[in-house]
Copies of this chain bind each other. A is one copy, B any other.
Amino acid sequence: MKTPTRNRRAEILEAAADLFAARGFHGVSIEDIGTAVGVSGPALYRHFNGKEALLTEMLLDISERLHEQGARLATTADPDTAEAALDALLSGHIEFALTHPALIRVHERELDNVPEQARRAIRRLQRLYVEEWVTVLSELHPACPPARLRAATHAVFGLLNSTPRSAGELAPEAMAGLLHTMARAALSRL
């Protein structure tokens, strides 16, 4: 029985993400998560070392995906294509946020519940992701100081990550277009 095992972990992570997003890390019990995947309670310890370990793996995974995606899409040293790189970053982030609203929410909110060491690793990945944006933006706004570009990047993340809050108001494609337009405009005047 090697193959079915792969799924359990993923199933658990997915269910836990939804629950954490809805009620917060401390608002969800191990038992809740177990129930959500059809097993009950302590069974989760066969797959994770504990509740914190579960959250840690979730956040590390998200941060890695965003960072990796960012590194792939921002690969542009050329000012001519900086515009294109920014559009790619925007589309990538929007796609992720619309596809995985629960993950975005958890990523935004639960870092403090991760044990110190892992938290540092996660923060590093987040920082690297931000720097990818800053690099692209600095080509578009050479005169703008890095601190300002960083703050602007965080602000745009706030805008793009608003998705989970306004869910259902608009169709996904319309929402994607709107977010892209707004973010693009917000970043045009720095």
Q: Which residues of A contact B (CB under 8 A)?
A: 22-27, 108-109, 112-113, 147-148, 150-152, 154-162, 165-166, 169-170, 174-175, 178-179, 181-183, 185-190
With the chains together, A166 CA to B127 CA distance in Å?
Answer: 12
With the chains together, A183 CA to B109 CA distance in Å?
Answer: 23
Distance (whole angstroms) from the CB of A111 to the closest CB of chain B? 10
List, in ascending order, chain B residues with CB within 8 A of A186's CB. 159, 182-183, 185-186
- Taking CB as reference atom, which chain B residue is nearest A188? B185
Q: Is the CB of B166 within 8 A of A155?
A: yes
With the chains together, A156 CA to B113 CA distance in Å?
Answer: 28
- Taking CB as reference atom, which chain B residue is nearest A183? B186
